[in-house]
Amino acid sequence: MNTLQCMRIFSQIAVSGGYAAASRKLNLNTALLSRSVVQLEEHMGVRLLNRTTRNVSLTEAGERYLRRCLKILASIEEAEAEASAATREISGCLRVHAMSSFGHDLVLPASLRYQRQFPKVRVELTLSGDVPDMIEGGYDTSIVLAPELPSSGLVSVRLGTINGVICASPSYIRENGQPKSPEDLVSHSCLLLTTPVFPTDRWVFEGPDSSYAVDIGELRFTANTPEALAPAVASGLGIGLLPVSAALPKLISGELVRVLPEHAVQPVNVYVLYQSRRFLDAKIRAWVDLLREELPTVLAGYDEAMLKLNVGATS
């Protein structure tokens, strides 16, 4: 027995004053309506309607049950309307995860612009060095950096690529010399950004035909965010690989110099992940649209700034 359907049928019969009127309202035949009421009565062991050949009337138990049914059905309609509105109205709580190596520089500013544009949405931004389980963590979207994504049931949208920059302080280069090739890194002190994206014992470069990995030297310092690693590199501890967003300000100020500029480090793709394309909440769709519109431009700006910096260094 479909209890909810039987409740709807019983309530409509009671409100309409009979089977014929309820049949027209619900577009169901009277035989089905009669069976549904009988099933309810048998299920509860109580008569709900008094039937005559001309009309029906509620029993005392039927009157009490009708009041309850109408409240329940109204609550269900309200819940359905609220859930349906989520696909149309940009409101509610948007739970965003981003990898910290990327989130501070790009995702945080984007989330602030999003909140100004959609003030009915409360944004909860979590930055971490790990790629989370989105369902277990309760996230609507996750922005991750990876050379490529493993297969999963999540929807992924590629937003662009972010390049890495190998750099060191001028004092380190004066004291230890400039590596001439990636293979020379094995004889230098290297500082490592420890994230799920990069290997822990080598750096990957882009060759003319394919990428290749090079072993790096003694690890003197590791950090799980670029914000922590950049000052360590600038202090002269060793050579570090930083995302361009973290390296660029210190390259411009002269605190860092680029190492092996003629050797391109393997770029990392930027993805936004979410759980399903079907019945996507309006707030999530608006967030993904904003990221697709803004982040490629910001990433391209980093590349242009690096190009100008390199041209200035050689002119």
Strands 121-128 and 49-51: unpaired
Lowest mean per-residue pLDDT among 70-74, 102-106, 247-251, 304-308: 102-106
What is the average per-residue pLDDT within 147-176? 88
The C-alpha angle 134, 126, 109, rounded to 5 degrees, equals 120
Q: pLDDT category, 166, cuts 50, 70, 90?
A: very high
Q: In whole numbers, what is the pLDDT of the chain averaged over residues?
A: 85
pLDDT of residue 304 exceeding 60:
yes
Q: What is the pTM of this model?
A: 0.67
Terminal-to-terminal C-alpha distance of the chain? 83
pLDDT of residue 144 exceeding 90:
no
pLDDT of residue 83 exceeding 70:
no
Instruction: Give the pLDDT of residue 88.
Output: 66
Q: In angstroms, how far apart are the furthest CA atoms of the chain?
A: 106
pLDDT of residue 208 exceeding 80:
no
Helix residue ranges per DSSP H, 196-266 = 226-234, 244-253
pLDDT of residue 246 exceeding 80:
yes
Spell out the domains of the chain, with CATH numbers in brackets.
3-85 (1.10.10.10), 92-162+269-304 (3.40.190.10), 164-266 (3.40.190.290)
Q: What's the token pair of residue 84?
A: 């349906």
